[in-house]
Amino acid sequence: MTPSLVYALTPGEPAGIGPDLCLLLAADAQPQALVAIASRALLTERTALLGLDVSLLDVNPGAWPRVPAPAGALYVWDTPLRAPVQPGRLDPANAAYVLETLTRAGQGCLDGTFAGMITAPVHKGVINDAGIAFSGHTEFLADLTGTPQVVMMLATQGLRVALVTTHLPLKDVAAALQPERLERVARILHADLRDKFGIPAPRILVCGLNPHAGEGGHLGREEIEVIEPVLARLRDEGLDLVGPLPADTLFTPKHLDHCDAVLAMYHDQGLPVLKYKGFGAAVNVTLGMPIVRTSVDHGTALDLAGSGRIDSGSLKVALDTAYRMTARRP
């Protein structure tokens, strides 16, 4: 039998729904070997709380699984908590635990142990409360992999949205919109749509920054001074980039029916539309890194942790996307 590829699954914030999602996945057999990098004690406690019948199968470096776990079982690489966990109650003491799971997964992808990593949601605030500067999975994994520029893209059925800037205060976005950044992001998006998603000639719609895409400079000059020159230069190289277009009319069938992705200038310009269209059935993909990383489209849902009233749809989409992305790699 051909050995299965091995993928890393990180449960994110231990007081949130991430551990619950990992356990719910175990109800069905996966097509590949999936290893939860998590506290075994935490998963045991959450299994009992949820009334699930899940067998936790211990694995560790040097003894990785060669076949997928059967239905009702989950491979676990035990990663100890720093403090006991109560569902729904954040504890900065466990920030280091969360980052350790991400580091193990990311390093495993870099050294070829894992074919890719799938992440459940973290809580940025509690990690910062622990005195650790942290702005999100995307930025953390960029540092870990030594990638100078990565791109955050969310996707659901019929729509992909990538971001030029990610987790920045709105007041800082215009200053961050530099030609070099925009060019790097556009190139990464084009390359990964082609190489990781199998789209031979991606067509990308580009949002303006300002209302009405600047209204000819009357509502801001970023379109004229930054966005349009970059797009023109890249079009000369053969990239199919349309814009800058007003964001309030770009997200309509007239435009979306004829594109492969939208490039938005900032977080809340593009993601509210995507999440309205596909919340719970969308995936967060980090582009531009030497590893495959996908994630859910939602947060930690602290109020639902341990309740059993959750939907694992987004995590299943994240898994399926990771499997398909690695299948396209040489």
pLDDT one-digit tens code per residue, 274-308: 999 988 888 999 999 999 999 998 899 999 999 99
Q: What is the pTM of this model?
A: 0.88
**123 annotated among ligand-binding-site residues:** no
**Looking at the predicted structure, is the pLDDT value of residue 2 above 60?**
no
Mean pLDDT, range 131-158, rounded to an integer: 92
* pLDDT value at residue 328: 67
Q: What is the pLDDT of residue 295?
A: 94
pLDDT at 10: 98
| Residues 153-184 pLDDT 10s | 999 999 999 999 988 999 999 999 999 999 99
Q: Where in 147-300 does DSSP place strands (E)?
A: 151-156, 159-163, 203-207, 240-245, 261-264, 283-287, 293-295
Give the residue from 131, 138, 133, 83 showing the smallest Cα distance to 106. 138
Q: Which residue has the tokens 């930690």?
A: 300
Determine if residue 255 is labeled as part of a ligand binding site: no
Give the gyration radius of the chain's Cα atoms. 20
User: Are 114 and 86 spatial neighbours (Cβ–Cβ below 8 Å)?
Assistant: no
Distance CA 327, CA 4 (A): 12
Residue with tokens 């030594």: 146
Q: Closest Cα partner for 323 from 30, 102, 120, 122?
A: 30
pLDDT tens digits for 7-21?
999 999 999 999 999
Q: What CA–CA distance (Å, rounded) separates 75 from 65? A: 8
Q: How many beta carbons lie within 10 A of that of residue 111, not counting itself?
A: 8
pLDDT category of residue 62 using cuts at 50, 70 and 90: confident
Mean pLDDT, rounded, for 101-120: 96
250/244 Cα distance (integer angstroms): 10
Report the C-alpha gap between 17 and 22 in whole angstroms. Answer: 9
Residue reference for tokens 């939860």: 36
Mean pLDDT for all residues in the chain:
94
Q: Is 275 annotated as a binding residue?
A: yes
- Asked if residue 74 lies in contact with residue 25, where contact means CB atoms within 8 angstroms, the answer is yes
| Helices 137-145 and 95-110, axial angle in degrees (round to 10) | 50
Q: How many residues does the chain have?
A: 330
CB-based burial label for 116 (10 Å; 0-12, 13-18, 19+): buried
User: Residue 54: pLDDT band by 50, 70, 90 thresholds?
Assistant: very high
Q: What tens digit of pLDDT does each residue of 73-110 get?
A: 999 999 999 999 999 999 999 999 999 999 999 999 99
Question: Does 284 belong to an annotated binding site?
Answer: yes
DSSP 40: H
- Return the minimum-mean-pLDDT range out of 115-119, 265-269, 281-285: 281-285
Name all domains of the chain by residue range, CATH numbers in brackets: 6-147+291-325 (3.40.718.10), 151-275 (3.40.718.10)
CB 106 within 8 Å of CB 137:
no
Say if CB 76 and CB 57 are below 8 A apart: yes
Q: What is the pLDDT of residue 280?
A: 80
Candidates 93, 107, 52, 98; CA nearest to 79 is 98
- 10 Å Cβ neighbour count for 114? 28
Is 329 flagged in the annotation as binding? Answer: no
Q: What are phi and psi of 244, to 5 degrees?
A: -75, 140
